[in-house]
Amino acid sequence: GNSVTQMEGPVTLSEEAFLTINCTYTATGYPSLFWYVQYPGEGLQLLLKATKADDKGSNKGFEATYRKETTSFHLEKGSVQVSDSAVYFCALSGPRGGGATNKLIFGTGTLLAVQP
């Protein structure tokens, strides 16, 4: 069935460091892939997405490339800021058993803490 696996946190970085949060997926068909961000005490917000192989999603300095050959969608940022501290979720569209794509399946989330 469809699933998402992302690296466990917490990830602790100093300001201006390079960030990578790994995400791999298992899916039937061709799902869309997403990164969502959750700031403390809030709901989730869409950070970026990609809908087909080799697409690159980007937003606010974050990037992720849909790699079908490695079934990955790793999140990267060249220089993190304290304000990037949050929980990051990788997600894909589709049910656990494959088929229709009318819901999202989320990874367990990765807590990022950026220190000044």
Partner 1 sequence: DGGITQSPKYLFRKEGQNVTLSCEQNLNHDAMYWYRQDPGQGLRLIYYSQIVNDFQKGDIAEGYSVSREKKESFPLTVTSAQKNPTAFYLCASSILQGTRVEELFFGEGSRLTVL
* Residues of the shown chain interacting with partner 1 in the complex, contacts defined by CB under 8 A: 32, 34, 36, 41-46, 49, 51, 89, 93, 96, 100-109
Report the nearest approach of partner 1 to the CB of residue 75 (Å).
15
Residues 6+ apart with CB under 8 A from 37: 44, 45, 47, 86, 87, 88, 89
The least distance separating partner 1 from the CB of residue 77, rounded to whole angstroms, comes to 21
| For partner 1, the closer CB: 17 or 95 | 95
> Which residues make Cβ contacts (< 8 Å) with residue 43, sequence separation at least 6?
none
Quote the least distance from Cβ 71 to partner 1, whole Å.
Answer: 18
- CB 14 → partner 1: shortest distance, Å? 25
C-beta closer to partner 1: residue 90 or 114? 90
Comparing CB distances to partner 1, the nearer of 68 and 103 is 103
Distances (CA, A) of 80 to 10, 25, 83: 15, 25, 8
Residue with tokens 């989730």: 44
What is the Cα–Cα distance from 96 to 89, expressed in whole angstroms? 17
